[in-house]
Amino acid sequence: NAGVTQTPKFRVLKTGQSMTLLCAQDMNHEYMYWYRQDPGMGLRLIHYSVGEGTTAKGEVPDGYNVSRLKKQNFLLGLESAAPSQTSVYFCASSYTLPGLAGVGVETQYFGPGTRLLVL
Amino acid sequence: QKEVEQDPGPLSVPEGAIVSLNCTYSNSAFQYFMWYRQYSRKGPELLMYTYSSGNKEDGRFTAQVDKSSKYISLFIRDSQPSDSATYLCAMSGLGAQKLVFGQGTRLTINP
């Protein structure tokens, strides 16, 4: 059971280049998320998906696109990279823990991260 | 104003000390409260979660929630150098699909 894996681990891009970050999970989780983490800013949600074929915008979606064609994969795309997109990107998938009144709480299992540097 | 506020630190304490990490929140709809631990160059991992006011213990760790004050804490007893990490609080409402994270507090335990 590999959990959540991210590809690549590190990448350097030039301004204007495009790339796709791949997230894969083998836990059959429905929900998946993409975050970016910057110093002093904490984790900020970019996009998320509540199931195969569905995606939604998070807190900072501009400049990114996502796709969830298969349940186990969640792709994050940068069409035209900018230096402001230099960050560490984390993917997560969600699992349910016991919660209040029989309603489970969704908590998240994170991947190891992708470090992206845009020059 | 952010929904969840957390002092980013850094916080540095000697080995064996009791550590207190805190978050405040403004959204009264939050019902679930979590603490994640993130080691350097790793992804966050769930440390504890709770949905009740009061204390929840797990070994050297105690999570405390005061819903009336909208204040949560994580206490670490007998702190060890291996506890050095960034600790993030996270919260969600009933049936929510997303978590709201604090900024994270960077903690260093000095031998």
**In chain A, what residues touch B88 (CB-CB under 8 Å)?**
42-43
Q: Do B79 and B19 form a contact (C-beta atoms < 8 A)?
A: yes
Of A45-49, A95-99, B90-94, the poorest mean pLDDT is in A95-99
Cα angle vertex B45, ends B40, B46, to 5°?
Answer: 145
**What was the pLDDT predicted at B107?**
97
Cβ contact (<8 Å) for B51 and A50? no
CB-CB under 8 Å, A40 with B99: no
At A59, give phi and psi (nearest 5°): -75, -35
**What pLDDT shows up at residue B103?**
94
Q: Residue B87: beta bridge partners?
A: B37, B105
Residue B96: predicted pLDDT: 81
How confident is the model over B32-50, as a mean pLDDT? 95
Tell whether B31 is within 8 A of chain A (Cβ).
yes
CB proximity A41 to B under 8 Å = yes
Residue carrying structure tokens 């506890």: B83
Q: Six-digit token pair at B69?
A: 């004050």
Burial class (CB in 10 A: 0-12, 13-18, 19+), A66: buried
The pLDDT, as a whole number, for residue A81 is 96
What is the distance in angstroms between the Cα of A62 and the nearest Cα belonging to chain B? 18
Per-residue pLDDT band for A102 (boundaries 50, 70, 90) equals confident
**With an 8 Å Cβ cutoff, are B51 and A33 in contact?**
no
Angstroms from B91 CA to nearest CA on chain A: 9
Rounded Cα distance, A51 and A58, in Å? 15
R_g over Cα of chain A? 14
Residue B95 pLDDT greater than 90, yes or no:
no
Write down how long chain A is.
Answer: 119
Peptide bond into B10 cis (omega under 30): yes
For residue A106, give how far its alpha carbon lies from the nearest alpha carbon of chain B (Å).
7
pLDDT band at A27 (very low <50, low <70, confident <90, very high): very high
State the Cα–Cα distance between residues A81 and A86, nearest whole angstrom. 9
Give the model's confidence band at A105: pLDDT under 50 very low, under 70 low, under 90 confident, else very high. confident
Is B98 an interface residue toward A (CB < 8 Å)? yes
Cross-chain residue pair B49–A105, CB shorter than 8 Å: yes
Task: Please answer yes or no on whether A97 and B49 come within 8 Å at the CB atom.
Answer: yes
3-class SS at A100? helix
Mean of all residue pLDDT scores within chain B: 94
Q: Does A61 touch chain B (CB under 8 A)?
A: no
Lowest model confidence (mean pLDDT) among A101-105, B17-21, B57-61, B62-66: A101-105
Dihedral of CA B29/B94/A98/B79: which sign?
negative
Residue A42, pLDDT score: 86
| Minimal-distance CA residue of chain A relative to B10 | A40
Which of A94, A103, A110 lies at the smallest CB-CB distance from B94? A103
Contact of A4 with chain B, judged by CB distance below 8 Å, is answered with yes
Count of pairs with CB atoms under 8 A, one residue in A, one in B: 65
